[in-house]
Chains A and B, each alone.
Chain A
């Protein structure tokens, strides 16, 4: 079945540590997105990529980094500069900007 796979489902980070969240899609979608979800705040866009080797900052990019070396993959690194990283992170993809985005099942990041 086509879809988006996020791993791991749960992730723990120590203070000062960088962690990388994986997102893989086999939908052949050009566009991919990373969102952060906090209770009562809906979803906020971190980074997006419209095509391989290109990505842009979203609304809350500070403390995060991404890469898009392959069409299928869009990993997100939460750096030590992100002071409040505890959240639910969702990856999404779409065929084009007019089509609905398909979401993965998310990664829940917590601080030890």
Chain B
């Protein structure tokens, strides 16, 4: 069965530090991988997506992610954290179904300290 695992339900960094949110997927078919961000009491906003082609994907707000097939990973990074990055982040796999069902990771709450 398809699954997405986000390592660490909570990640805390200092402002200006590197942000690394880990995601591993398990899929028997080529994955379509997304990262979404959710601020409190709001919907999900797409940060970036990987479908095919270049494995290093750049998204909004300075985030990027690298698709590594050999490691079945799609980790999200940002070189320098900002206070406004504090939110919950979801890694999502949309591959493998005929109707676009999304397989969500459990989410990682990012806290940014001054």
Contacts and interface: CB of A to CB of B under 8 A. Distances in A.
Interface string A50-94: 100000101000000000000000000000000000001010101
A48 B101 contact: yes
B71 to A, nearest CB: 22
In terms of DSSP, what is the predominant structure of the interface of chain B?
Answer: loop
Given A40-B9, A42-B90, A43-B104, A97 B44 contact: no
Contacts of A106: 41-43
A100 B46 contact: yes
Counting chain A residues whose Cβ lies within 8 A of the other chain, the interface size class is: 20 to 34
B100 A103 contact: no
Contacts of B99: 31, 48, 50, 56, 97
Q: Is the interface of A mostly helix, strand, loop or mixed?
A: strand
Interface residues of B, number: 24
A43 B43 contact: no
B34 A105 contact: no
Given A40-B106, A41-B106, A100-B34, A94 B100 contact: yes
A98 B51 contact: yes
A11 B59 CA distance: 34
Contacts of B44: 43, 90, 92, 103
B43 A42 contact: no
B11 interface: no
Contacts of A100: 34, 46, 49, 94
Nearest to A10: B41
A7 interface: no
